[in-house]
Structure 1
Amino acid sequence: MDNLVEIVIMLIAGCFLLALLYRFIYRWLHTPSTMSRIKLGRGGKLKDNDPNVNLLERHGYAVISGRHQIPVVVELDGEVLERSATIIIDYVAEKKGCSYIVKTERERQPIDLTTADLKKHLLMYALLLPDMSGILYINHKEGKIHRIAFHLAEK
């Protein structure tokens, strides 16, 4: 009887290990080789009494880091352009185990909450950091936080 229990436990453990191995190999085979992961560093320091941080915390988010600058080198017809671009992430926040990129509204360049404007201004963040759960867009004057997620649909 004890032998039978041990055999069943070993079979279950073996099936579990095979499933993990299959998942690892499947992901490895189906991930594009050109896909490079961006790893965010520590980010900038958070300011004391930052109204955006206070708003996020009032809504239950924990602000993990401050401003991140991601340099982008632009190449045109094989030549690197002199001016490089920089992608700015204002904050990274977390809530219930989900991480979010945070963008704050700019007075000079507010984003209309339409599909076209959201795609134009925020889609690059979702594509740049696909492991994030979404983007939080803060309108500090109205005290609103909009949670935006892009999902690629299959035909």
Structure 2
Amino acid sequence: MQAKDSWVILLILAVAAIWLYIRVKRQQGDLPLYRSVPRHDEILVASEEALELIEEAGYGWIAGKVKIPITVTLDGTTLESRLFADGFVEKDRQWFVVKFARERKPIDMTGSGLREHLLVYSLLYPEAAGVLYVDVAGRSIRTVQFEIEL
């Protein structure tokens, strides 16, 4: 065996070791499948009941309420706005955006009603498995997924 053959073998072993390390870490859950979701040590949600409802359904919290700043330019004038995601959860190595039902702003459970209120979250986070619409008062969790045909 020549010296350059040894280098090739060492290079192959190094690449295999790195690949194996990444694969094991992903299986252990140490490397997240999501990158654009903020992580919080303390989860801030509307109520303890909301927190428990999500956890009882088998979801793990990644982050609580998140403010998403939006800058809009209208005819050269800059306008500021914001959008709020009520949280991010994961289950079975998939993650979801959470939106809580609001008494003062109910959503029609129709295609157009869901599109008007929840599609924006799927567009902001395309790597999410969907949006969880959580009605704490009704103790229900609905999974909403959008498929866009172009």
1:144 aligns with 2:149: no
TM-score normalised by the chain length of structure 1:
0.69
TM-score normalised by the chain length of structure 2:
0.71
Alignment partner, residue 51 of structure 2: 53
Given candidates 114, 122, 126, the residue that maps to 1:126 is 122
Structure 1, unmatched stretches of 5+, are: 1-12, 14-37
Structure 2, unmatched stretches of 5+, are: 1-11, 13-34
1:111 aligns with 2:107: yes
One-letter identity of the residue aligned with 1:64: I
CA distance in 2: counterparts of 1:119 and 1:49, whole angstroms: 26
One-letter identity of the residue aligned with 1:42: R
Change (3 A) 1:126 1:49: closer
Change (3 A) 1:80 1:149: same
One-letter identity of the residue aligned with 2:73: E
Q: CA deviation at 1:153?
A: 2.0
1:86 aligns with 2:82: yes
Moved over 2 A (4+): 38-49
Matched residue SS, 1:74:
strand
Are 2:45 and 2:65, in contact at CA under 8 Å, matched by a contact in 1?
no
Are 1:40 and 1:68, in contact at CA under 8 Å, matched by a contact in 2?
no
Q: CA deviation at 1:41?
A: 2.5
Alignment partner, residue 97 of structure 2: 101
One-letter identity of the residue aligned with 2:58: G
CA distance in 1: counterparts of 2:67 and 2:106, whole angstroms: 20
- How many residue pairs get matched? 117
Alignment partner, residue 62 of structure 2: 64
Aligned-residue sequence identity (percent) comes to 34
1:40 aligns with 2:16: no
